[in-house]
């Protein structure tokens, strides 16, 4: 959900940590004795921004989909074993299938069967273009199931 993927650590670790530190340090940098929130703009703004940041990051986490299952797209029963291989092989770490997986660094694979023929998909799995690992060492049946599953996506 967060683009580019290099910002994921900042969004998941950095922003919440900074927000919590700001709230913990609030008594030290806002020494105003006033108790009414509208007369304490620094404290009110810090609290408001922390609540918004936490709510937004919680929403992103809740809508991200399962990291180990491909359950947001229709998979015919004959291709289910290939979907299981894709989920268990770590494809969701770099690719997106419907609402499951990540937006990068690899392309979205929801409709890959419409864009590439089965032979090209098999070749990509064997070679491992770019940062993608090669799946040539995968058991032949699992490799064929994975190839068939990806080719069925349209």
Distance, in Å, from the CA atom of 133 to the CA atom of 80, rounded to the nearest integer, reads: 22
So what's the pLDDT on residue 67? 64
Higher pLDDT pick, 4 / 60: 60
Query: Whose structure tokens read 């289910």?
Result: 80
Distance, in Å, from the CA atom of 133 to the CA atom of 136, rounded to the nearest integer, reads: 9
Tokens of residue 153, six digits: 């996506």
Residue range 7-20, pLDDT digits in tens: 777 877 888 888 78
Burial 108-133 (b: 16+ CB within 10 A, else e): ebbebbeebeeeebbebbeeeeeeee
What is the pTM assigned to this prediction? 0.57
Distance, in Å, from the CA atom of 137 to the CA atom of 152, rounded to the nearest integer, reads: 22
Angular region, 89: left φ>0, alpha ψ -120 to 50, beta rest: alpha
Distance, in Å, from the CA atom of 128 to the CA atom of 124, rounded to the nearest integer, reads: 5
**Angle CA 132–71–122, to nearest 5:** 35
The CA-based dihedral angle spanning residues 40, 43, 45, 48, taken in that order and rounded to the nearest 10 degrees:
-120
Half-sphere exposure of residue 18: CA atoms within 13 angstroms, side-chain side: 10
Residue range 59-81, pLDDT digits in tens: 877 776 666 667 667 777 888 88
């Amino acid at each position: 959900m967060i683009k580019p993927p290099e910002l994921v650590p900042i969004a998941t670790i950095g922003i919440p940590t900074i927000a919590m530190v700001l709230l913990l340090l609030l008594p030290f940098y806002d020494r105003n004795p006033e108790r009414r929130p509208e007369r304490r703009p620094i404290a009110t703004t810090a609290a408001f921004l922390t609540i918004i940041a936490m709510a937004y990051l919680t929403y992103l986490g809740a809508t991200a989909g399962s990291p180990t299952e491909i359950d947001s797209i229709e998979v015919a029963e004959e291709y289910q074993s290939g979907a299981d291989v894709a989920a268990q092989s770590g494809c969701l770490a770099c690719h997106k299938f419907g609402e499951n997986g990540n937006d990068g660094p690899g392309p979205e694979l929801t409709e890959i069967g419409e864009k590439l023929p089965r032979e090209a998909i098999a070749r990509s799995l064997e070679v491992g273009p770019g940062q993608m690992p090669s799946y040539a060492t995968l058991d032949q049946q699992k490799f064929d199931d994975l190839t068939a599953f990806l080719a069925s996506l349209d």
